[in-house]
């Protein structure tokens, strides 16, 4: 399909363990359209983060392929995959992964500076305004609350205008109020910049806010059509 930003074709991931081969993902076929918001839900250990890592070109499948914005990842070496990650993708991890010696502003600027963007500082400042942190730009991560750190991570994720934003449990360790605020920002920024959003969540409310919900169970992915399935997951 032409307007698919992501397609996965028979994606499999098997790892070697002391007990023998373990198939984590058993043939995932997934299509995501440009600009869509997709939630991946499912029990702990079912393979959600593994799938996200593969889709984000951070890990290599055992077999199968991913077509990202028209490019087959299977045909790329590590260097080319790194370029795809840098130019088209962004990732928000559950544990924020801010650089602890850099201020909020410097953390947000970093990807843009690495990419040689000239007005990185002004762009970072404007993104921090958007996430409500204009009064905290010079704070180090350890001087910020958990919710504030997550907002810095979101601002940073958007600075290089990714085509796809992957987020693994973006509200996982926030209280309900902060979780709602973070979700509002993710969807607002998805709307503003037409970024495709693929997120993993245990939060039923967040999952429902996405246009599609996909249920991962024992390494297999199915489209959720009955809302009750979200609660069961
Ligand atoms: N490199 C690896 N070697 C062995 N087992 C692995 C490896 N990576 C993941 N697994 C196993 O694969 C399964 C899926 O892991 P994954 O992290 O994708 O689950 P998840 O759905 O994200 O779970 P959670 O909701 O707890 O984050 C788990 O049982 C995990 O132990
Ligand atoms: Mg996980």
pLDDT, tens digit, for every residue of 191-204?
988 899 999 999 98
pLDDT digits (tens, 9 = 90+) for 55-90: 999 999 999 999 999 999 998 999 999 999 989 999
pLDDT at 2 over 80: no
Share of the chain above pLDDT 90, in %: 70
pLDDT digits (tens, 9 = 90+) for 81-114: 999 998 999 998 877 789 999 999 999 999 999 8
Mean pLDDT across the stretch 127-142?
Answer: 93
pLDDT of the residue at 140: 96
> Ligand 1 mean position to 219 CA, how many Å?
10
Nearest CA to ligand 1 atom 28: 45
pLDDT at 229 over 80: no
> Ligand 2 mean position to 126 CA, how many Å?
31
Ligand 1 atom at minimum distance from 53 CA: 18
Distance (Å) of CA 10 to CA 25, 55, 77, 92, 215: 9, 13, 20, 25, 17
pLDDT of the residue at 30: 97
Burial bucket for residue 192 (CB in 10 Å: 0-12, 13-18, 19+): exposed
Ligand 1, from 47, 198, 203, 216: best to mutate by most atoms within 8 Å of Cβ? 47
Mean pLDDT across the stretch 170-188?
Answer: 84
The model's pTM: 0.90
pLDDT of the residue at 227: 66
Mean pLDDT across the stretch 136-151?
Answer: 92
pLDDT at 33 over 90: yes
Query: φ, ψ for residue 82 (rounded to 5)?
Result: -60, -35
pLDDT, the chain, mean: 91
Pocket of ligand 1 (CB under 6 A): 15, 17, 22, 24, 44-50
pLDDT of the residue at 232: 61
Each residue of 78-102: b (16+ CB within 10 Å) or e? eeebeebbeebbbbbbbebebeeee
Instruction: Give the N- to C-terminal CA distance of the chain in Å, as an integer.
Output: 29
> Ligand 1 mean position to 120 CA, how many Å?
36
Of the pLDDT bands very low, low, confident and very high (cuts 50, 70, 90), residue 160 is confident
pLDDT of the residue at 226: 75
> Ligand 1 mean position to 58 CA, how many Å?
15
């Amino acid at each position: 399909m032409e307007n698919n930003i992501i397609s996965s074709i028979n994606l499999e991931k098997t790892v070697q363990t002391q007990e023998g081969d373990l198939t984590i993902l058993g043939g995932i076929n997934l299509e995501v359209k440009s600009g869509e918001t997709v939630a991946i839900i499912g029990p702990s250990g079912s393979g959600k983060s593994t799938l996200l890592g593969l889709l984000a070109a951070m890990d290599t499948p055992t077999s199968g392929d991913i077509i990202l914005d028209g490019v087959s990842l299977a045909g790329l070496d590590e260097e080319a995959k790194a370029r795809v990650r840098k130019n088209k993708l962004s990732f928000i991890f559950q544990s924020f992964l801010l650089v602890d010696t850099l201020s909020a502003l410097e953390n947000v600027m970093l990807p843009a500076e690495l990419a040689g963007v000239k007005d990185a500082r002004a762009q970072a400042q404007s993104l921090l305004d958007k996430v409500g942190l204009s009064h905290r730009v010079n704070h180090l991560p350890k001087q910020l609350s958990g919710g504030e750190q997550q907002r810095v991570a979101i601002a940073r994720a958007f600075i290089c205008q990714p085509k796809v934003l992957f987020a693994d449990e973006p509200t996982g360790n926030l209280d309900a109020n902060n979780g709602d605020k973070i979700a509002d920002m993710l969807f607002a920024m998805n709307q503003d910049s037409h970024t495709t959003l693929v997120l993993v969540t245990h939060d039923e409310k967040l999952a429902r806010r996405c246009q599609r919900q996909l249920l991962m169970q024992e390494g297999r992915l199915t489209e959720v059509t009955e809302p009750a399935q979200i609660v069961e997951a």
